[in-house]
Chains A and B, each alone.
Chain A
Amino acid sequence: ETGVTQTPRHLVMGMTNKKSLKCEQHLGHNAMYWYKQSAKKPLELMFVYNFKEQTENNSVPSRFSPECPNSSHLFLHLHTLQPEDSALYLCASSQLKVGDTEAFFGQGTRLTVV
């Protein structure tokens, strides 16, 4: 148990569906992240939230829409996805401060777009 919980663990959705991924952290961290992990590619940072404010969007298509209602919860809303969006989506959290702190990851949501 890493303190970061993601639901669902697995998701299969059609290209016309709308679904949401949920992430919750119990570590008291003030930063949360969405990553995409695809085979044979480096981990891709999608979004960063610091104190509930989005501070980074790495050219992610608008069919991915993040939401951070508070510093403990992070959502990724999905709509009209493409098959190439199939991947493992990882949520992470960290405590932003001077010096280095590591990110703690959830177990991920395995997304398959059909």
Chain B
Amino acid sequence: AQSVTQLDSHVSVSEGTPVLLRCNYSSSYSPSLFWYVQHPNKGLQLLLKYTSAATLVKGINGFEAEFKKSETSFHLTKPSAHMSDAAEYFCVVRNAGNNRKLIWGLGTSLAVNP
């Protein structure tokens, strides 16, 4: 069975400092992995996705994530936080087989302090 765990429900950083949002997954097959962002009163926007190509994936707004199979992790990082990065972030896993359901994490709320 597939599952995804976001290890922190809330992360707070100072503007200009690095961001790390942690995600661990379990999957019986080669997974596809996604990070989505949701700003207040907005819909979900895809940040980046991993689909069995390069293990280091670059996304929008300076975010990137590294797929580590040995650690079953897909942590999201950004070198320098900006105030506009304050939002809810969701890690998502999808089976590469016939079952194409998206399994969502509970989300991590990122606060950026001036």
What separation, in Å, do the CA atoms of A58 and B47 have in the docked complex? 27
Does B43 contact A90, Cβ atoms closer than 8 Å? yes
User: A100: which B residues are within 8 A, CB to CB?
Assistant: 32, 49, 51, 94, 96
Report if A61 contacts B (CB, 8 A).
no
Does A42 contact B44, Cβ atoms closer than 8 Å? no
Does A42 contact B42, Cβ atoms closer than 8 Å? no
Report if A2 contacts B (CB, 8 A).
yes
Give the number of residues in B that approach A within 8 Å (Cβ atoms). Answer: 21
CB-contact partner of A99 in B41, B51, B104, B105, under 8 A:
B51
Nearest neighbor of A33 in chain B, beta-carbon distance: B102
The number of inter-chain residue pairs (CB within 8 angstroms) is 41
How many Å from the CB of A34 to the closest CB on chain B? 13
Give the number of residues in A that approach B within 8 Å (Cβ atoms). Answer: 21
Does A105 contact B45, Cβ atoms closer than 8 Å? yes
Does B104 contact A105, Cβ atoms closer than 8 Å? no
Q: A102-B49, A107-B42 are in contact. Are A45 and B106 (CB under 8 A)?
A: no
What separation, in Å, do the CA atoms of A41 and B45 have in the docked complex? 18
Report if B90 contacts A (CB, 8 A).
yes
Does A105 contact B51, Cβ atoms closer than 8 Å? no
How many Å from the CB of B38 to the closest CB on chain A? 9
Does B43 contact A43, Cβ atoms closer than 8 Å? no
A-side residues, CB < 8 A to B, are 2, 4, 6, 40-43, 45, 90, 92, 96, 99-100, 102-108, 110
